[in-house]
Chain A
Amino acid sequence: DIQMTQSPSSVSASVGDRVTITCRASQDISKWLGWYQQKAGKAPKLLISATSILESGVPSRFSGSGSGTDFTLTISSLQPEDYATYYCQQAKSHPLTFGGGTKVEMK
């Protein structure tokens, strides 16, 4: 199985801050990395697929980068609605695996 490791597990930030979350795969997954946002009590929502493809309706302040084993999700200017938990997921091979999550909290 491909292990996905996210860091940090939590981050405290203010509105307007730039937030960066990293995800590391235990082996090369090329560009097959997605990012989800989950708000309390809700299902996850796919934000980014294939490392950097922004899904329809996702604000442009979200961006993704990386390749191989190291990936990054960046929120360029944090908005109030962005406080949530973010998960990475590899889509290179079964079993599909998720990172442990990063909670973006209010500073």
Chain B
Amino acid sequence: DAQMTQSPSSLSASVGDRVTITCRASQDISNHLAWYQQKPGKVPKLLIYAASNLQSGVPSRFSGSGFGTDFTLTISSLQPEDVATYYCQKYNNAPLTFGGGTKVEMK
């Protein structure tokens, strides 16, 4: 089963900064990669699917890229409402493994 490794585990950035989170799969998962945002006490929200497809209603400052084993989530200009924990998830087959999460805080 493919393991998903996210980095960094946490980061602190300022409003307007470009933020990049990486996710590495231990096996080739093609583009079967999703990104979620979870705010404290809330249900996770789907941001990106198929590695680079923006879910409807998600701001365009979020983008995803990658294929195979290496993937990236980018927030082009960090906003206060983006403070959250972000998870990647592979879904090519079971088990649908999540990465360990990246906590994004405001500097």
Q: Do A and B come from one complex?
A: no
Residues on B close to A: CB < 8 A? Answer: none
